[in-house]
Amino acid sequence: MSIRNPKQALYEQFAIVAKALGHPLRLEMIEHLAQGSRSVEALAAKLGQPVGNISQHLQALRRAGIVSAERDGKFVHYSLSDASVLSAFAAVRGVAQRQLAEVDRIVRGYFDARDDMRPVTRDELQALMRDGLVTLIDVRPADEFALGHVPGAINVPLGEIKAWSGSAVASREVVAYCRGPWCVMSFEAVAALRSLGHSARRLEDGMPEWKAAGLPVEMTDRWR
């Protein structure tokens, strides 16, 4: 092994963190863990991956200090170590969004840009909710909703959008949110609602950002 000066040693440490963020699956894992703690098995099920593979990637994230493990009987629950992980993820997303044309292309290809896709900001949402002007729906699966959601939000998982929209007042605007600013579920929810004749917009980002902003969170369960 070559002799390393402290400068190189520091860069190596920083690179460990960045390298751990440098895999699509690990980023997806981080986005899920940002919703709340998960066991290895639960995370594997969410991502449709073999448990062994997820365990491997969790070790990589743990070595980089990105996630922490906590044993609870037979289960090991993983969670993000620190809110700084979310800002690092957000910063990486920011670079990609500004500099990689491909990101723009994907979003536009997925959600027709000619529609008004201007998202609702958190401040706007709070005002609209206070005045009772909108219906807020959380389109994540029920288990994630249970781990924490925006007060006043109704849980309408993506598959239930159509059924729910029948019972909703069509004239009232709907705001949808999910896991984060690029989570596709809220894009899909807005597209579905619009095709069903509703007025709908996305919240600019998701639950983890809401929580990180220090806003109130309603919770049902701790695990799972």
Which span (22-30, 79-87, 185-193, 199-207) binds DNA, by CB under 7 A? 22-30
Binders of DNA among residues 41 to 100 (CB under 7 A) are 41-42, 49-53, 55-60, 69, 71, 73-77
Instruction: Verify binding: residue 18, DNA, rule CB under 7 A.
Output: no
Give the count of residues interacting with its own copies (CB under 8 A): 53
Least distance in angstroms from the C-beta of 24 to DNA: 8
Instruction: Verify binding: residue 12, its own copies, rule CB under 8 A.
Output: yes
Nearest CB to its own copies, comparing residues 147 and 178: 178
Is residue 125 within a helix (H) or strand (E), and if so which, with residue range? helix 122-130
Instruction: Verify binding: residue 212, DNA, rule CB under 7 A.
Output: no
CA-wise closest residue to 148 among 217, 194, 67: 217
Instruction: Verify binding: residue 166, its own copies, rule CB under 8 A.
Output: no
Q: What is the DSSP letter of 39?
A: E
Instruction: Verify binding: residue 17, DNA, rule CB under 7 A.
Output: no
Listing DSSP states for 65-96 in one string gives TSEEEEEETTEEEEEES-HHHHHHHHHHHHHH
Instruction: Verify binding: residue 25, DNA, rule CB under 7 A.
Output: yes
Least distance in angstroms from the C-beta of 178 to its own copies: 11
Is residue 38 within a helix (H) or strand (E), and if so which, with residue range? strand 38-39
**One of 2, 3, 7, 167 touching its own copies (CB under 8 A):** 7
Which among its own copies, DNA, none contacts residue 163 (Cβ within 5 to 8 A by kind)? none
Q: Is 183 known to be catalytic?
A: no
Sheet holding 134-138, edge to edge: 154-155, 134-138, 173-177, 200-202
- Annotated active-site residue in 64, 178, 183, 193: 178
Q: What's the Cα-to-Cα distance from 114 to each of 107, 110, 170, 182, 184, rounded to whole Å? A: 12, 12, 22, 18, 18
Residue 162 in contact with residue 194, Cβ under 8 Å?
no
Handedness of CA 45, 183, 137, 215 (dihedral sign): positive
Active site residues: 178
Q: What residues make contact with its own copies under the rule CB under 8 A?
A: 5-28, 64-66, 81-82, 84-85, 87-96, 98-100, 102-103, 106-107, 109-110, 182-184
